Amino acid sequence: MTPRQRAAVLGSPIAHSLSPVLHRAAYAELGLTEWTYERFEVDEAGLPGFVAGLGPEWAGLSLTMPLKRAVIPLLDEVSATARSVEAVNTVLFTEDGRRVGDNTDIPGLVAALRERGVEKTPAAAVLGAGATASSALAALAGICSGEVTAYVRSPERAAEMRQWGERLGVDVRVADWARAAEAFEAPLVIATTPAGATDALTGAVPERPGTLFDVLYEPWPTPLAAAWSARGGTVLGGLDLLVHQAVLQVERMTGAVRAPLAAMRAAGEAALAAR
């Protein structure tokens, strides 16, 4: 039987991905010298052919945009976590040739917060909408006991967030982006917006802020994260999410009992510093 020792990250664009750095660092630390992890530029049109061409040596795939939903019809099984947000970021290949889709972004977000001492929160705010925001809501479903306020830019996005809240069992209130500074009164703020979107809000950071999870990792720190940290608030960044979700991917692809979080984070930090 061919050993399953090959993995990769797919997406478009993909050159910026830190996943190879993180996974290879894990392999080195775990002594998995025969394992390889690559990156491939694959768009939605090319995904079916790419997946169909994979041999028995493949253990798994990491997926980034725009493939997280496009892959679902190609799978034999999708986990409840991935199904909840209609997004698969991990594909596992079983020994009997089945393709299983999972989502490690959601438990990775929860694990990153837990590492910083945030296991429960009475309320939360989400800045932005879209795929990352829906994953944030899914994570908050398990740790937020009260209302989540989502700050969005359009009625269409507002409707989407309400629908995700209903689907995920989260009490979501939607507010206009013009009031986004009000989000900072929440004990936990998750910013899912593109680079630059929150820069104008830095002056609104309160004197005693709670916890900010800004999912960007480049450039870092963002102006908001820097202002938040300067006020003494707890700050998590996109690298925290990336590392924690990658830890889960490594464990599920390789069968390792525990992936080396510290080594993976150090590799990611070094790679970002070198850019």
Active site amino acids: 68
Q: Which residues pair with 91 in a beta bridge?
A: 61, 101
Largest Cα span, the chain: 61
Q: Is the peptide bond before 66 cis (omega within 30 degrees of 0)?
A: yes
Helix axes 261-273, 19-30, angle to 10 degrees: 140
What is the rounded CA–CA span in Å between residue 5 and residue 141?
35
Residue in the structure block whose two tokens are 């929150």: 198
What is the rounded CA–CA span in Å between residue 223 and residue 211?
15
What is the rounded CA–CA span in Å between residue 92 and residue 75?
10
What is the rounded CA–CA span in Å between residue 167 and residue 84?
8
